[in-house]
């Protein structure tokens, strides 16, 4: 398994580089073919490869993951793939190339994969613009989704917040800041009004955050600025809150006379509510205890994943079944090596219970 993770990590695959993503897809396809005995379908979505396996009808359980990362090509020079002190490191190892390897090693423990489907995508890190329709369609035809995203501290993701994103483009009128500022319409001032109005939409008690993030305005110190841009990140625990905030953002009006505000964006990923994962998490806890691994924890998180999309179409979804470690997208990204076989065994047990195929053990599996 470590060798397979190493091959995936060394196939650098930043989302913005389709050629690199395709090269990593070929590595993932080779690992999946070797461990399951079946080659994937190559599905082209807007020039990006997505890999799909269907075993039998493939309508009982979908295993979902991605092979793109946030790390640019060349990151191996400063963050090489290494295994030392019980930790595995390298760009994208935790999020989520170890999870891809675990997925196939888990399937290699089963004699019968009937009812299983696998979907690996190459654009998760940029919001799944090309693969979203495919993910939702695959989720609608299956009865449960297991997401092999990484796990900070070992807890499964039993709930995820929904995500919305907006950009405001503000237009005013330029003027000389010293000679006749009163002739201008200051977009920096209008931007400040909008930031305060947006921030007021947050509801901490409901778990709703509305965070102005990237802002830009002005060209020179002595010019009243006539354009400004503002990006806003929204996280919500419920669909109702997502709709409330969306309506309020769309109702924003300029404060300064002569200013205009154009809005783009909207809801991106729906929430993954605890109700969507409850039964699958109950199964997972039972299998984890039966395997002798102790008590499995669940956690609600603010970050989104493709699991939000599958839960959004009504399919029960359990997330965070991939590698245990930490440092996603950061210099200290790492995987705890000792947890790799445990999480792999858990995924195999879950798939077996959802399809009715008993695990065979590593000595009899395809791998």
Task: Examine the residue annotation and report whether 68 is marked as an active-site residue of this protein.
Answer: yes
166/309 same-domain check: no
- Grade residue 269 by pLDDT with cuts at 50, 70 and 90: very high
Q: What is the 3-state secondary structure (H, E, C) of 249-268?
A: HHCCCCCCCCCEEEEEEEEE
156/264 same-domain check: no
261/175 same-domain check: yes
Indicate which residue of 4, 12, 95, 124 is catalytic.
Answer: 124
- Write out the residue range of the structural domain in which residue 218 sits: 162-268
Q: Check which CATH number belongs to the domain holding 155 and give it.
A: 3.40.630.10
- Tokens coding 174: 């330029």
217/313 same-domain check: no
Is residue 363 situated within a structural domain?
no
180/261 same-domain check: yes
Is residue 360 situated within a structural domain?
no
- Tokens coding 144: 């449960």
Percent of the chain with pLDDT over 70: 97
pLDDT digits (tens, 9 = 90+) for 101-151: 999 999 999 999 999 999 999 999 999 999 999 999 999 999 999 999 999
190/284 same-domain check: no
Last residue of a domain, one of 243, 268, 293: 268
Cβ–Cβ < 8 Å for 122, 44: no
178/326 same-domain check: no
Is residue 317's pLDDT more than 50?
yes
Q: Check which CATH number belongs to the domain holding 247 and give it.
A: 3.30.70.360
| pTM check: above 0.85 | yes
CA distance 137 to 306: 12
108/22 same-domain check: yes
CA distance 127 to 239: 18
- Which pLDDT score is estimated for 358? 60
What's the burial of 326, exposed, middle or buried (CB within 10 Å: 0-12/13-18/19+)? middle
Is residue 31 situated within a structural domain?
yes
- Using DSSP bridges, classify how beta strands 317-318 and 145-147 pair: parallel, antiparallel or unpaired: parallel
- Which pLDDT score is estimated for 45? 75
Angstrom CA distances, 127 to 116, 212, 304, stand at: 25, 19, 9
Domain count, the chain: 2
176/263 same-domain check: yes
Is residue 365 situated within a structural domain?
no
Is residue 362 situated within a structural domain?
no
Is residue 364 situated within a structural domain?
no
Task: Examine the residue annotation and report whether 241 is marked as an active-site residue of this protein.
Answer: no
Last residue of a domain, one of 268, 287, 306: 268
Cβ–Cβ < 8 Å for 212, 196: no
219/249 same-domain check: yes
Burial 286-305 (b: 16+ CB within 10 A, else e): ebbeeeeeeebebebbeebb
DSSP state of 217: E
187/110 same-domain check: no
| Helix, strand, coil share (%) of the chain residues, nearest 5 | 35, 30, 35
Is residue 361 situated within a structural domain?
no
47/138 same-domain check: yes
Residue length of the chain: 367
- Tokens coding 138: 């695959």
pLDDT digits (tens, 9 = 90+) for 55-77: 999 999 999 999 999 999 999 99
Indicate which residue of 4, 68, 125, 333 is catalytic.
Answer: 68
CA distance 93 to 11: 11
CA 100 to chain centre: 14
């Amino acid at each position: 398994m470590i060798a397979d993770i190493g091959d995936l990590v060394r196939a650098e695959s930043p989302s913005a580089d389709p050629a690199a993503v395709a090269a990593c897809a070929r590595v993932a396809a080779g690992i999946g073919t070797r461990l399951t005995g079946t080659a994937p379908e190559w599905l082209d979505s807007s020039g990006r490869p997505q890999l799909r396996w269907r075993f039998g009808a493939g309508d009982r359980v979908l295993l979902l993951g991605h092979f793109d990362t946030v790390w640019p090509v060349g990151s191996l020079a400063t963050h090489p793939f290494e295994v030392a002190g019980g930790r595995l490191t390298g760009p994208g190892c935790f999020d989520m190339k170890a999870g891809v390897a675990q997925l196939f090693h888990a399937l290699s423990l089963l004699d019968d994969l009937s009812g299983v489907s696998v979907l690996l995508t190459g654009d998760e890190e940029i919001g799944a613009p090309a693969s979203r329709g495919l993910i939702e369609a695959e989720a609608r035809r299956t009865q449960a989704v297991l997401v092999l995203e990484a796990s900070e501290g070992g807890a499964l993701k039993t709930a995820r917040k929904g995500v919305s994103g907006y950009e405001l483009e503000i237009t005013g009128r330029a003027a000389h800041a010293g000679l006749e500022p009163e002739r201008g319409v200051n977009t920096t001032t209008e931007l400040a009004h909008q930031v305060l109005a947006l921030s007021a939409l947050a509801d901490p008690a409901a778990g709703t955050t509305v965070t102005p993030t990237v802002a830009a305005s002005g060209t020179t110190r002595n010019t009243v600025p006539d354009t400004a841009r503002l990006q806003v990140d929204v996280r919500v625990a419920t669909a109702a809150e997502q709709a409330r905030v969306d309506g309020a953002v769309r109702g924003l009006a300029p404060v300064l006379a002569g200013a205009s505000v154009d809005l783009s964006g909207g809801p991106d990923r729906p929430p993954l509510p605890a109700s969507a994962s409850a039964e699958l998490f109950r199964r997972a806890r039972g299998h984890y205890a039966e395997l002798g691994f102790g008590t499995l924890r669940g956690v609600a998180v603010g970050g989104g994943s493709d699991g939000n999309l599958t839960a959004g179409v009504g399919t029960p979804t359990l997330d965070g079944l991939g590698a245990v470690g930490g440092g996603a997208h950061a210099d200290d990204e790492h995987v705890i090596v000792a947890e790799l076989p445990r999480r792999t065994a858990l995924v195999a047990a879950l798939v077996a219970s959802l399809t009715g195929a008993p695990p065979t053990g590593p000595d009899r599996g395809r791998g």
